[in-house]
Amino acid sequence: MQKKLAELKNRLMEINDLQMAASLLNWDQSTYMPPGGAVARGRQMATLGRLAHEKFTSLEVGNLLDALRPYADTLPYDHDDAALLRRTQTDFDQATKIPAELLSELLAHNAAAYQAWTVARPENNFKAVEPLLQKTVELSRRVADCFPGYDHIADPLIDFSDEGMKAESIRALFAELRQAMVPLVKAITDQSVADDSCLKQTFPEDDQLAFGMKIVKQYGYDLARGRQDKTHHPFMTKFSLGDVRITTRVKENDLSEALFSTLHEAGHAMYEQGIRLDFEGTPLGVGTSSGVHESQSRLWENIVGRSRGFWQHYYPQLQAVFSSQLGQVDLDTFYRAINKVQPSLIRTDADEVTYNLHVMIRFDLELQLLEGTLAVKDLPEAWHGRYQSDLGLRAPDDRDGALQDVHWFMGMVGGAFQGYTLGNIMSGLFYDAALKAHQEIPDEIAQGQFGLLHGWLKENVYQHGRKYTANELVEKISGGPLTIAPYIAYLQNKFGELYNL
């Protein structure tokens, strides 16, 4: 058995090498590649992806998994080998149960839908993509049907990014969250809107980048195993557990853009850097779900990086760097500016409080499209209706309505959005658990020290990689299922104080 397990691990490492090489090509494409490289680069990444897929779905891997099943059955659930075989089997099923023709139909369709969306959105022409989106919904249903036995048709699609989560439990969690958020947003916006003009002056790029990097180094992002480069749409990527990179973009007329994207991506990166090294190259050597990943980025970006204690320490340093811009702006004004709450039409620009409302709208619409309770042709009006009821706003057109996000036009309908809000909910739950273990964490943060918090996260979240699903991790940490209570309490405390609610 040990020989077979070693053989499986060797194969998985080889497959991982191909995937990581493709990631490096992708990072280069998004950072330094000259435009002339685009066509060949697309082909090269597709080649590596195809080779990895072929190797993974091979008869050999299938036979090894079959042969190792009796061994897995003898192990305790918590055993590393049991987890490795369980996760590998999940990935193998996902890679093999979708027929090759359906997969290639989906990929070809995605390319066409994305192309059409890039034209239709600036033209505000939903009609042009309506039949394509209709087909996306149909293909998404067919993919879901490759995994029979689900409770809700979205479950198999949610499983791709948030393994083990179910549409019904997420819907219940989100309904509860929405009930708490809508009045909170209303109470805040009934007051005068915070003034964030201090952030909209001119801030030289190099100084912005240096300041952000100084903070994330102090957070614990290891630059011997990481680096930051500039890109159009910030992301985190990795090529091994020893090389986990972040990217950012700078706006010289908006101080918050690069700074908070750096803190966000560093949160993702520290998670990956903290995974046990012996998981390298296996399906366990990666963050466990999109929700847990987002919990880490949001925790370092918002709960830490937008807290008053944090800026009590760092604001004098920021003022020293940007003395002509911020020298006369007091801490309170700055703190209010970076925590300005204002309902808006665009998800990616939304503040900490209203952000979840954007996500929940999309999640509900996805489920309705998949269920067939909402027709694609009615999506634009359904979108506007929900923005009106949840955020009190109506987009003037579909450009900032149903055409806003790329997700439905480059992949499936279903499973694309819930991770963002699950991440916020989990960030509150994990931080709460860390505070219960170490009450001194806020005092440390107010002194620019993060060792206790980072250490707790490494111990309880990071090191496990994908050994536990999100639900298992939450259960292990909090002793119960995922609940919104700590996250809501966090928001109500913070914004209650800020807005005298």
Q: How far is the CB of 416 from Zn ion (least distance, A)?
A: 13
Q: How far is the CB of 236 from Zn ion (least distance, A)?
A: 7
Q: How far is the CB of 254 from Zn ion (least distance, A)?
A: 19
| Identified binder of Zn ion from the candidate list 140, 297, 302, 418, rule CB under 5 A | 297
* Spatial CB neighbours of 308, under 8 Å, sequence gap ≥ 6: 335
Build a one-symbol-per-residue string for 186-205: x at contacts with Zn ion by CB under 5 A, - elsewhere: --------------------
Q: Which is nearer to Zn ion, 260 or 490 (CB)?
A: 260
What secondary structure letter does DSSP report for 304?
I
Q: Among the candidate windows 112-120, 175-183, 289-297, 491-499, which touches Zn ion by CB under 5 A?
A: 289-297
The reply on whether position 302 binds Zn ion by CB under 5 A is no
For 379, counting Cβ atoms within 10 Å of its Cβ (0-12 exposed, 13-18 middle, 19+ buried), the class is buried
Strand partners, 244: 238
Q: Which is nearer to Zn ion, 297 or 339 (CB)?
A: 297
Which of 265, 272, 294, 352 is flagged as catalytic?
265
Q: Which residue is nearest to Zn ion (CB)?
A: 297
265 is catalytic: yes
**Is-contact 423 297, C-beta < 8 A?**
yes
| Interface size with Zn ion, residues (CB under 5 A) | 1
For 324, counting Cβ atoms within 10 Å of its Cβ (0-12 exposed, 13-18 middle, 19+ buried), the class is exposed
What secondary structure letter does DSSP report for 414?
S
**Is-contact 156 98, C-beta < 8 A?**
no
Q: Among the candidate windows 98-106, 242-250, 295-303, 324-332, which touches Zn ion by CB under 5 A?
A: 295-303
What secondary structure letter does DSSP report for 466?
T
Coil vs helix vs strand at 243 = strand
C-alpha to C-alpha distance for 286 and 42, rounded to whole angstroms? 24
Element (H, E) at 239: strand 236-240
The reply on whether position 228 binds Zn ion by CB under 5 A is no
Q: Among the candidate windows 93-101, 291-299, 440-448, 465-473, which touches Zn ion by CB under 5 A?
A: 291-299
The reply on whether position 237 binds Zn ion by CB under 5 A is no
- Distance from chain centroid for Cα 54: 28
Q: How far from each other are the two terminal CA atoms of the chain, in whole angstroms?
A: 62
Q: Which is nearer to Zn ion, 262 or 297 (CB)?
A: 297
- Distance from chain centroid for Cα 307: 21
The reply on whether position 325 binds Zn ion by CB under 5 A is no
Q: Which is nearer to Zn ion, 379 or 473 (CB)?
A: 473
Q: Which is nearer to Zn ion, 297 or 302 (CB)?
A: 297
The reply on whether position 247 binds Zn ion by CB under 5 A is no
* Spatial CB neighbours of 55, under 8 Å, sequence gap ≥ 6: 11, 14, 15, 18, 61
C-alpha to C-alpha distance for 52 and 297, rounded to whole angstroms? 29
Q: Among the candidate windows 37-45, 219-227, 292-300, 355-363, which touches Zn ion by CB under 5 A?
A: 292-300
**Is-contact 154 167, C-beta < 8 A?**
yes
The reply on whether position 289 binds Zn ion by CB under 5 A is no
Q: Which is nearer to Zn ion, 282 or 297 (CB)?
A: 297
Q: How far is the CB of 457 from Zn ion (least distance, A)?
A: 16
Q: Which is nearer to Zn ion, 267 or 380 (CB)?
A: 267
Q: How far is the CB of 472 from Zn ion (least distance, A)?
A: 22
Coil vs helix vs strand at 185 = helix
Residues designated as active site: 265
Residues engaged in binding Zn ion (CB under 5 A): 297
